[in-house]
Amino acid sequence: MYERKQENIHGFCVTKESGYGKIAFALKQKMFMTWRMKDMFIIAGLGNPDRQYEGTRHNVGFDVIDRIAEKYNISVDVKKHRALLGKGVIEGQKVILAKPQTYMNLSGESIRSLVDYYKIDGEHELLVIYDDINLGVGQLRIREKGSAGGHNGIKNIIAHLGTQVFPRIRVGVGEKPSRYDLADYVLGHFSKAEKELMEEGYDHAVDAAGMILSGRIGDAMSEYNRKKKETRP
Protein backbone atom coordinates (compact mmCIF):
# COMPACT_ATOMS: atom_id res chain seq x y z
CA MET A 1 0.00 0.00 0.00
CA TYR A 2 1.11 3.52 -0.72
CA GLU A 3 0.17 6.59 1.23
CA ARG A 4 -2.03 8.80 -0.91
CA LYS A 5 -1.00 12.43 -1.19
CA GLN A 6 -2.42 15.49 -2.86
CA GLU A 7 -0.38 18.18 -4.52
CA ASN A 8 -1.50 21.48 -5.98
CA ILE A 9 0.07 21.66 -9.43
CA HIS A 10 -0.60 24.60 -11.72
CA GLY A 11 -3.95 25.30 -10.10
CA PHE A 12 -5.15 21.68 -10.09
CA CYS A 13 -5.25 19.29 -7.17
CA VAL A 14 -3.46 16.12 -8.33
CA THR A 15 -3.79 12.93 -6.29
CA LYS A 16 -0.77 10.66 -6.50
CA GLU A 17 0.65 7.62 -4.82
CA SER A 18 3.67 8.53 -2.74
CA GLY A 19 5.67 5.87 -4.58
CA TYR A 20 4.77 7.30 -7.99
CA GLY A 21 5.66 10.96 -8.39
CA LYS A 22 6.60 10.81 -12.07
CA ILE A 23 3.42 12.41 -13.38
CA ALA A 24 3.53 15.25 -10.87
CA PHE A 25 7.24 15.77 -11.52
CA ALA A 26 6.67 15.87 -15.30
CA LEU A 27 3.92 18.43 -14.84
CA LYS A 28 6.22 20.58 -12.72
CA GLN A 29 8.94 20.39 -15.36
CA LYS A 30 6.48 21.38 -18.09
CA MET A 31 5.16 24.19 -15.94
CA PHE A 32 8.64 25.67 -15.53
CA MET A 33 9.22 25.42 -19.29
CA THR A 34 6.10 27.44 -20.05
CA TRP A 35 6.06 29.82 -17.08
CA ARG A 36 7.56 32.81 -18.86
CA MET A 37 5.39 35.75 -17.98
CA LYS A 38 5.45 39.43 -17.23
CA ASP A 39 5.89 40.69 -13.68
CA MET A 40 8.10 37.75 -12.73
CA PHE A 41 10.57 38.13 -9.87
CA ILE A 42 13.55 35.88 -9.16
CA ILE A 43 14.98 35.52 -5.64
CA ALA A 44 18.34 33.76 -5.70
CA GLY A 45 20.24 32.65 -2.61
CA LEU A 46 23.91 31.81 -3.07
CA GLY A 47 25.77 28.83 -1.67
CA ASN A 48 27.53 25.56 -2.45
CA PRO A 49 25.47 22.47 -3.30
CA ASP A 50 27.24 19.56 -1.58
CA ARG A 51 26.01 18.27 1.77
CA GLN A 52 29.35 19.06 3.41
CA TYR A 53 28.60 22.77 2.99
CA GLU A 54 25.17 22.72 4.62
CA GLY A 55 24.96 25.12 7.53
CA THR A 56 28.25 26.87 6.72
CA ARG A 57 28.72 30.63 6.67
CA HIS A 58 29.04 30.67 2.89
CA ASN A 59 25.63 28.99 2.51
CA VAL A 60 23.43 31.50 4.31
CA GLY A 61 21.87 32.44 0.97
CA PHE A 62 20.58 28.89 0.60
CA ASP A 63 19.35 28.96 4.21
CA VAL A 64 17.32 32.13 3.63
CA ILE A 65 15.75 30.63 0.49
CA ASP A 66 14.78 27.55 2.52
CA ARG A 67 13.06 29.76 5.10
CA ILE A 68 11.25 31.77 2.44
CA ALA A 69 10.11 28.52 0.84
CA GLU A 70 8.88 27.20 4.19
CA LYS A 71 6.99 30.39 5.04
CA TYR A 72 5.22 30.58 1.68
CA ASN A 73 4.82 26.83 1.10
CA ILE A 74 7.00 26.70 -2.01
CA SER A 75 8.79 23.49 -3.01
CA VAL A 76 12.30 24.18 -4.30
CA ASP A 77 12.91 20.90 -6.07
CA VAL A 78 12.98 21.41 -9.85
CA LYS A 79 16.42 21.20 -11.48
CA LYS A 80 16.77 23.67 -14.36
CA HIS A 81 19.23 26.35 -15.40
CA ARG A 82 21.90 24.76 -13.19
CA ALA A 83 19.82 25.55 -10.12
CA LEU A 84 17.17 24.15 -7.81
CA LEU A 85 13.99 26.12 -8.46
CA GLY A 86 10.60 26.63 -6.88
CA LYS A 87 7.69 28.78 -8.05
CA GLY A 88 5.05 30.50 -5.99
CA VAL A 89 3.42 33.77 -5.04
CA ILE A 90 4.75 36.12 -2.35
CA GLU A 91 3.00 39.36 -1.43
CA GLY A 92 0.91 39.01 -4.57
CA GLN A 93 4.02 38.70 -6.75
CA LYS A 94 4.81 35.65 -8.89
CA VAL A 95 8.29 34.47 -7.93
CA ILE A 96 10.95 31.92 -8.74
CA LEU A 97 13.12 30.86 -5.81
CA ALA A 98 16.55 29.74 -6.97
CA LYS A 99 19.52 27.99 -5.40
CA PRO A 100 22.31 27.88 -8.03
CA GLN A 101 24.09 24.52 -8.08
CA THR A 102 27.21 25.77 -9.88
CA TYR A 103 29.23 26.29 -6.70
CA MET A 104 29.58 29.80 -5.38
CA ASN A 105 32.24 31.19 -7.70
CA LEU A 106 30.22 30.38 -10.85
CA SER A 107 26.83 31.59 -9.60
CA GLY A 108 26.55 34.05 -12.48
CA GLU A 109 26.21 31.23 -15.02
CA SER A 110 22.96 30.07 -13.44
CA ILE A 111 21.65 33.57 -12.72
CA ARG A 112 22.23 34.75 -16.30
CA SER A 113 20.45 31.68 -17.66
CA LEU A 114 17.44 32.37 -15.43
CA VAL A 115 17.33 36.08 -16.29
CA ASP A 116 17.45 35.31 -20.02
CA TYR A 117 14.92 32.48 -19.94
CA TYR A 118 12.29 34.28 -17.88
CA LYS A 119 13.02 37.58 -19.64
CA ILE A 120 13.13 39.59 -16.44
CA ASP A 121 14.65 43.00 -15.84
CA GLY A 122 17.64 42.10 -13.69
CA GLU A 123 17.89 45.64 -12.32
CA HIS A 124 14.41 45.52 -10.80
CA GLU A 125 13.15 41.92 -10.83
CA LEU A 126 16.13 40.05 -9.38
CA LEU A 127 17.00 39.80 -5.69
CA VAL A 128 20.24 38.11 -4.63
CA ILE A 129 20.85 36.98 -1.04
CA TYR A 130 24.34 36.09 0.19
CA ASP A 131 26.81 36.08 3.08
CA ASP A 132 28.98 39.01 4.11
CA ILE A 133 32.02 38.80 6.39
CA ASN A 134 32.03 42.57 6.81
CA LEU A 135 28.80 42.55 8.80
CA GLY A 136 28.19 41.31 12.31
CA VAL A 137 26.57 37.91 12.76
CA GLY A 138 22.91 38.08 11.73
CA GLN A 139 23.02 41.72 10.64
CA LEU A 140 21.58 42.73 7.27
CA ARG A 141 22.57 45.25 4.67
CA ILE A 142 20.12 45.86 1.81
CA ARG A 143 21.17 47.67 -1.35
CA GLU A 144 19.70 48.38 -4.79
CA LYS A 145 23.13 48.14 -6.42
CA GLY A 146 26.80 47.93 -5.57
CA SER A 147 30.16 46.33 -6.19
CA ALA A 148 31.07 42.75 -5.34
CA GLY A 149 32.91 43.83 -2.20
CA GLY A 150 35.31 40.92 -2.58
CA HIS A 151 32.54 38.30 -2.79
CA ASN A 152 33.37 35.93 -5.66
CA GLY A 153 29.79 34.80 -6.22
CA ILE A 154 28.59 38.38 -6.67
CA LYS A 155 31.66 39.18 -8.79
CA ASN A 156 30.68 36.37 -11.16
CA ILE A 157 27.05 37.52 -11.31
CA ILE A 158 28.13 41.08 -12.15
CA ALA A 159 30.43 39.72 -14.88
CA HIS A 160 27.66 37.64 -16.46
CA LEU A 161 24.93 40.29 -16.20
CA GLY A 162 27.22 43.10 -17.27
CA THR A 163 25.91 45.33 -14.49
CA GLN A 164 26.16 45.74 -10.73
CA VAL A 165 22.67 47.24 -10.57
CA PHE A 166 20.42 44.63 -8.95
CA PRO A 167 18.89 44.47 -5.45
CA ARG A 168 20.64 42.36 -2.87
CA ILE A 169 20.38 41.36 0.78
CA ARG A 170 23.74 40.81 2.47
CA VAL A 171 23.53 38.65 5.57
CA GLY A 172 26.33 39.11 8.07
CA VAL A 173 28.34 36.09 9.21
CA GLY A 174 30.88 37.98 11.29
CA GLU A 175 34.38 39.24 10.60
CA LYS A 176 37.09 36.65 10.07
CA PRO A 177 39.38 36.31 13.10
CA SER A 178 42.98 37.15 12.23
CA ARG A 179 44.18 33.61 12.88
CA TYR A 180 41.77 32.08 10.34
CA ASP A 181 42.27 31.44 6.65
CA LEU A 182 39.40 33.13 4.76
CA ALA A 183 38.29 29.97 2.93
CA ASP A 184 38.34 27.94 6.13
CA TYR A 185 36.30 30.62 7.89
CA VAL A 186 33.50 31.01 5.34
CA LEU A 187 33.30 27.24 4.86
CA GLY A 188 33.14 26.72 8.61
CA HIS A 189 30.05 26.34 10.79
CA PHE A 190 28.50 28.74 13.27
CA SER A 191 28.95 28.36 16.99
CA LYS A 192 25.89 27.76 19.15
CA ALA A 193 25.75 31.43 20.16
CA GLU A 194 26.17 32.53 16.55
CA LYS A 195 23.35 30.24 15.43
CA GLU A 196 20.96 32.06 17.75
CA LEU A 197 21.93 35.39 16.20
CA MET A 198 21.61 33.93 12.71
CA GLU A 199 18.08 32.69 13.35
CA GLU A 200 17.00 36.27 13.97
CA GLY A 201 18.94 37.37 10.89
CA TYR A 202 17.21 34.75 8.74
CA ASP A 203 13.79 35.90 9.96
CA HIS A 204 14.66 39.50 9.16
CA ALA A 205 15.94 38.54 5.70
CA VAL A 206 12.68 36.74 4.93
CA ASP A 207 10.67 39.77 6.05
CA ALA A 208 12.93 42.11 4.06
CA ALA A 209 12.49 40.00 0.91
CA GLY A 210 8.72 40.29 1.28
CA MET A 211 9.00 44.08 1.61
CA ILE A 212 11.20 44.29 -1.49
CA LEU A 213 8.75 42.19 -3.50
CA SER A 214 5.94 44.56 -2.54
CA GLY A 215 7.95 47.53 -3.83
CA ARG A 216 9.13 48.76 -0.42
CA ILE A 217 12.89 48.38 -0.70
CA GLY A 218 13.36 51.83 0.86
CA ASP A 219 11.35 50.75 3.91
CA ALA A 220 13.36 47.52 4.10
CA MET A 221 16.63 49.47 4.07
CA SER A 222 15.37 51.85 6.76
CA GLU A 223 14.22 48.96 8.93
CA TYR A 224 17.10 46.51 8.61
CA ASN A 225 20.21 48.48 7.67
CA ARG A 226 20.41 49.88 11.17
CA LYS A 227 23.37 48.39 13.00
CA LYS A 228 22.36 46.28 15.96
CA LYS A 229 24.44 45.50 19.00
CA GLU A 230 26.12 42.14 18.58
CA THR A 231 27.16 39.75 21.31
CA ARG A 232 30.18 37.87 20.03
CA PRO A 233 30.86 34.46 21.59
Domains delineated in the chain: 1-34 (no CATH), 37-224 (3.40.50.1470)
pLDDT tens sequence across 122-144: 999 999 999 999 999 999 999 99
CA separation for the pair 29, 98 (Å, rounded): 15
pLDDT tens sequence across 11-32: 333 444 445 555 555 555 555 5
Instruction: State the pTM of this model.
Output: 0.83
* Active-site residue, selected from the candidate residues 58, 151, 160, 204: 58
Is there a catalytic annotation at residue 58? Answer: yes
How many other C-beta atoms are found inside a 10 Å radius of the C-beta of residue 117? 16
CA torsion sign for 232, 151, 130, 56 is negative
